[in-house]
Amino acid sequence: MFGFPAPVAQWDDLLRGVHNAAALRIVGHPEGWATPVLCVTGPAKCGLSFLAEAWANRFGGVSLTAAELAKAGRRGLDALAGRHVAVDDADIAAGKHDEALLSLINLVAGGGGRLLLTAHRPASQWRTGSADLKSRLNALPVGEIGQPDDAVVRARLEIAAARHFLRLGPETLNYLVPRLELAYDAVENFMDRLSEAVSDNDRAPSLPLARRVLEQMGEAADEDEAEG
């Protein structure tokens, strides 16, 4: 089955709110960073990958995953010297590809570039076998994306629905927002389950269907808690 290509991440498409306002103020002005390297953290599914790509696109830079960094090789790393580079899941890079990450830090900083590292944990908590890299990580400034409020949950529901080629009506959104956990992964989990229910029932995502999916999620959570 053929899928549609993912849209290119753009800075103006970032969802903004109280949850990320402070982080975006810092990330959006790399010329004002206290050091050439900045770490941004946030909970699961909060959009760190999108942020890394959007930032790199805004400044004509390069966005890499930890795996891509590992495959870059010396020549690939040299080509990034002095550029704006983002590394997503940078904690994985620190643990598995510490030499590559340390080299990238030195090359970007030495050439006057900027390096954005994203991960779900602060850099000071990353595991690495390199004492030099560990020292660098411990000194990094950190921006943090917080958990969503009701307004962000509503917006993320609409975004996730569109990604599944669904549309949630105002009545359904008004029902869901105060009942869903204020967490990005809760929104994504719900939309995945709702999309499956839409396919299984061959019907639009109505309020009764959304209510049923949410109730089933609650029942499953209760069972897990009882078993635990």
Residues 154 and 93 in one domain: no
Domain range holding 51? Answer: 12-144
Residues 34 and 107 in one domain: yes
Residues 44 and 89 in one domain: yes
> How many domains does the structure of the chain reveal?
2
Model confidence over 63-85: pLDDT tens digits?
A: 999 999 999 999 999 999 999 99
The radius of gyration of the chain from alpha carbons, rounded to an integer in Å, stands at 20
Model confidence over 123-135: pLDDT tens digits?
A: 999 999 999 999 9
Residues 57 and 123 in one domain: yes
Among 144, 175, 196, give the residue marking a domain's end. 144
pTM here? 0.89
Residues 165 and 120 in one domain: no
Q: Cα dist. 206→188, 190, 209 in Å?
A: 18, 14, 5
Helix segments in 79-183, DSSP class H? 90-96, 98-110, 131-138, 150-163, 170-176
Decide if 18 is inside a domain. yes
Closest CA to 55 of 82, 87, 33: 87
Residues 123 and 54 in one domain: yes
**CATH number of 216's domain:** 1.10.8
